[in-house]
A and B are shown apart, each in its own frame.
Chain A
Amino acid sequence: MPPLRKEGQVLIIILTALLVISSAEVKAEEKGNYQCLACHSKREIIIEFENGETTSGYVNPEEFEESVHSDLRCEDCHREFQEGKHPKRSFRSLEQYRRTMAINCRGCHLEEDICTKPIHARLKAKEGVLTAICMDCHGAHSIKRVGGGEIFESEKRYCMNCHSRDLRMTFYNGDPLPLRVSLVEIEQSVHSKLICSDCHRWFSMEEHPERHFRSKRDYVIAQSEVCKRCHFDKYSKILESIHYRLLAQGNSRAPVCIDCHGGHDVAEVSQNKAVLLQKCRNCHPDVYNTYLNSIHGRALIELSVQDVPICIDCHRAHDIENPLAVEFHERIPEMCGNCHANKALMKKYGLSTEVVKTYLSDFHGVTLGFYKKQRETLYKPMRPIAVCTDCHGVHDISSTRYQDRETIKQNLVNRCRKCHTEANQNFPDAWLSHYEPSLNRAPCIYLVNLFYRIFIPFMFIGLCLQIVLHIWRYAVNR
């Protein structure tokens, strides 16, 4: 029996092979496509036009098999060609050829049918006749089913059908807008779960309105308005920002959401401060460069210290105030205090937290405290009071640790003179440089304070005792 079985197996293999070959032959013969593809599946075929343009005559058999037209025969569209018939034709240009070919589409897809789709209706309404070449959007041999969710499992895929191509539009002022969208970029963005019409609200699988913008900038600004639909908290903060105020005043260069966060590539906000800095750098390169040379900037770039403040720590990210306003200036000690009054944080870098306390309890600090309160209730004092940045610098803050006393003092004299115009060389010593008086620093003041700390209670108790004794004696006398 074993030999018989072997024979049987061979027989089955042969029969199967025959069946496959014959069925393939039948299919090819049926369609007449096999013959065409014998040549047109080769990449070398080049078709030349009268104006010298060329195009490839190559047809990808697999792509065609997957297309919606896979059960059509070549001659159904290429009507002049039939089995054994391959006439030589000539066209002025590639475009003329494609237009001629597009007429053939109308054989099945009547104009009134396709004009029920809004995008075609719009194109027709615009120019009176439908002049677009079908293949420009739908492709030729790789044509896919449109709509209905069969091929386009999502709106995103539907839109990408066109927007994955190198399309472009032009604004009135001539700015080009590439319409090509990278799906990979969207999939990697934080908005990967959103669909196109969540942001491009006017568009859908049914609607594709024509919109008018003077320039690309106008479009970006208008498009940023969409973000508030979800990020209303940020939007309400932005309304108070200097950037929004500039925008409202007509300065279209003021940044909007997209400028900092990007469009399709919107990403999770980076936790690396060195990366975050770059957003502001685009418009504020000078400040950026100054910052890089400051003690904070150098610590961030050279040592990757993430505890240092960057732009948004002082200016904030969304409700950015006008930093030249007195109100902003008055809040600076608070901003610096956020870190410099934090004991645990300052201990890491061997810095004293006394700096904030000594400032706030001295003349400038006390005045500032009242000015802030008075602003709410009384009047608006316009006189600026020296705050941290007035002595230490704004973006160019440097460490005083490695500077010699004389340099510091000279710098300080110059700073004092900004307000106290007649200040002389001695004047800066009126400020104890953030030190609490001690036996080493300002011993005179320390001793005066110590004397009164003892003498005042002594006097108080002594006088009270006298009074008590006096009353007691008076009572005894009576």
Chain B
Amino acid sequence: MGYRRFSTGRIIEHWIAILTVLVLIVTGLSQKYYYLEISQWLILQLGGIDTVRWIHRYTGLVFIILTTVHIMMAIIGVVFLGWRPSMLITKKDFLDAIQNIKYYLGITNIPARCHRYNYKQKFEYWVILTGAILMASSGLVLWFPMTFTRFLPGEVVPLAKALHSNEALLLFIIIAIWHVYNAIFSPDVFPLDTSIFTGYISEERMQKEHPLELMEIKEKEKETAREVSTEGLLEDLGERPLS
């Protein structure tokens, strides 16, 4: 079975993200590249440009809610519930990156030893999170241009369009190349990194990819086991009838 890596909440969150992002990419890129034959075909198949725009906007709304909930939960979790801010970028991540590149180039034979999230995952997380904020805010400007120009100069509308359109391509490239490679095609996980769907990761992979986390877990386990065994011993003693 391995180790529990993601809670049910995270699994649902990822599923929603997959679906909304897919819809957003399909309906968004076909609008960005409206002049391509395939885009025109797709838009007409989906019921016309107006329908595609409404699908894009409402899916965007779901995505905005998802992002907001994610950020709120992270803040509440870290500040009030004592969650470990494991996604924060630290100095070690830069050192890890350098170490790993050295490893890839054959300069050293020791790959970087990472904690719960490695530098690649952190990089992807932050690019996507900032991208999501950028996409959400520029998307809202494009959805409600009249409301925003009431207190902002008119130029924010074409600016939002430029940002939305360019950032979309950037995020698409990162997801399509980097995330899909790391989660599907990478030899480490091929044919699929199932941990985000099942919630569990194998010990072998933990050993290889998250050795520091595994070490910590094992230490914790030892501590609890010691506590459990002492308690169990006492219970055993307590429950044992006197002979």
Residues of A within 8 A of B (CB): 366-367, 369-371, 373-374, 377-379, 381, 420, 422-424, 426-432, 437, 442, 444-445, 448-449, 451-452, 455-456, 459-460, 463-464, 466-467, 469-474, 476
User: When the two chains form their complex, are residues A448 and B154 in contact, meaning their CB atoms are under 8 A apart?
Assistant: no
A429–B101 contact, CB under 8 A? no
Q: How far is the CA of A420 from the CA of B148 in the complex (A)?
A: 13
Residues 158 to 209 of chain B near chain A (Cβ within 8 Å): 158-159, 162-163, 166-167, 169-170, 173-174, 177-178, 181, 186-188
Partner among A378, A442, A445, A463 whose Cβ is within 8 Å of the Cβ of B44: A378
Q: A373-B40, A442-B159, A445-B158 are in contact. List 20 more A-B contacts (CB 8 A).
A: A366-B31, A366-B49, A369-B34, A377-B44, A381-B48, A420-B146, A426-B154, A427-B146, A430-B154, A430-B158, A431-B154, A437-B158, A448-B159, A460-B177, A463-B173, A466-B178, A467-B177, A467-B178, A472-B104, A474-B188
- Total A-B contacts with CB atoms under 8 angstroms apart: 111
**Cross-chain contact of A378 among B48, B153, B170 (Cβ < 8 A):** B48
Q: How far is the CB of B198 from chain A (nearest CB, A)?
A: 24
Chain B min CB distance to A406 (Å): 14
B122 CB → nearest A CB, Å = 14
Cross-interface CB contact of A444 among B120, B145, B155, cutoff 8 Å = B155
**Whole-angstrom CA separation of A448 from B150 in the bound complex:** 23
Contact between B106 and A452, CB atoms less than 8 A apart: no
Listed A/B pairs (23) with beta-carbon separation below 8 Å: A366-B31, A366-B34, A374-B44, A420-B146, A427-B149, A429-B149, A429-B153, A429-B157, A430-B155, A430-B157, A442-B155, A445-B159, A451-B166, A455-B170, A456-B169, A456-B170, A466-B104, A467-B177, A467-B178, A467-B181, A469-B101, A474-B187, A476-B106
Q: Is the interface of B mostly helix, strand, loop or mixed?
A: helix
Nearest Cβ distance between residue A457 and chain B, in whole angstroms? 9
B166–A449 contact, CB under 8 A?
A: yes
Contact across chains for B170 and A449 when beta carbons are under 8 A apart: no
Cα distance, A346 to B123, chains bound together (Å): 51
Q: Is B103 an interface residue (CB 8 A)?
A: yes
How distant is the Cα of A430 from the Cα of B148 in the complex, in angstroms?
A: 11
Distance in angstroms between the alpha carbons of A369 and B104 in the assembled complex: 50
Q: Which residues of B contact A (CB under 8 A)?
A: 31, 34, 40, 43-44, 47-50, 101, 103-106, 120, 145-146, 149-150, 152-159, 162-163, 166-167, 169-170, 173-174, 177-178, 181, 186-188
- What is the bound-complex CA distance between A470 and B106, given in angstroms? 11
Q: Closest CB-CB distance, A372 to chain B, in whole Å?
A: 11
Known: A377-B44, A427-B154, A429-B153. A459 touches B174 (CB 8 A): yes
Q: Which residues of A contact B188 (CB under 8 A)?
A: 474
A449: B residues at CB distance < 8 A: 162, 166
Which residues of chain B have C-beta atoms less than 8 A from A459's C-beta?
Answer: 170, 173-174
With a cutoff of 8 Å between Cβ atoms, the chain A residues found around residue B152 in the complex are 426
Determine whether the beta carbon of A378 is less than 8 Å from that of B162.
Answer: no
Chain A residue numbers with a CB within 8 Å of B177 are 460, 463-464, 467
* Complex Cα gap A437–B155 (Å): 11
